[in-house]
Structure 1
Amino acid sequence: MKKWLLRALLTAMYVVFLIPVFVIINTAATISGKSPDILISFMYPPKLKREIKESEKILNKDIAGLCSKLKCRRPFEVKVYAHTFDKEAFAYTLVLHYKKIFISRKLMLSLNREEMKCVLVHEIGHVLLETYNEFEADSFAAETAGKKPCVSMLTKIARLTNNDPSGKSEIAMRIHALKSKKK
């Protein structure tokens, strides 16, 4: 069989069968609050998988310390994803459902440890304050982890927003709000 034909068939099989299966597994795992490790084991090469697990270990240690300091009732768990081949930098939590913080590998690699703590505290803030408001979560993070690293974190995120003008202007407003806030 010709190489190009075999490659085309494998690609078609991947697109038609494997991607929907991965999406279903990931969705079911996310809804149930479990880690979609089966998805990770298929998608990531072993070296990347080890790097992600090591990063999660460090971030979960940081989050345990932050939760102790903030007196969280239930602990949070951090999951790192190499999302769409590291083209996107993001962090999010599902505020009212469970306490998992999802962070893209690109964001994690772009920030220093203090800035990463700001991301973690920002996401914890969404849950503890029961809000989707970015300004409130930013303010909570600045009060807890420090204004300077939070402004630095937002500045770096603005550079990572893939030329999305609305995203950059929103982040610029958030930075301005933090800088103009007293203490």
Structure 2
Amino acid sequence: MEEKRASDSFTIMNELVLPNDTNVFGNLMGGRLMYWMDIAAAMAAGKHCNAPCMTASVDNLSFKNPIKLGNIVHIEAKISRAFNTSMEIHLRVWGEDSLHQYSYESNEAYFTFVALDPNGKPRPVPAVIPETEVEKKLYDGALRRRQLRLVLAGKMKPDDAVELKAFFVQAQ
């Protein structure tokens, strides 16, 4: 299977925040934003592996600034690393206030997707080639984030999370 550049999966999605998307404070509801982020991540995953994909996990969804009614939501998604059948997608979200002419960072998250074969079973995905410094940094951290996800899900014993342990324990 041929490797693919991280940049080949780059996806941008834009949405306008309408009244039905907001809470009583006039802010975009977190669930609606997660829904849009899931769609953007699915598009990036599909670009990477040319196969149907499904969400396996969502982690580290950080809400930094609310996005207001009438603002535009910009979502950027890109593969940070691929494993055997799964892919980690890094997402960044900005709000844009068109009236006052400024943009602001709103959210960041990591989603994991699994590629599916025609029978709905996990299938292998191409490896990722990181090119920029940011892509390399995200790629290098992805293994630790994956091990943390697996430990928290009970699918890996903490002692087996070698990369993650090395991050916290200094060599003697």
TM bucket (normalised to shorter chain) is: 0.3 to 0.5
Return the structure number with greater strand share.
2
Q: What is the TM-score when the length of structure 2 is the normalising length?
A: 0.34
- Which protein shows a greater Rg? 1
* Bigger relative contact order (CA 8 A; separation at least 6): 2
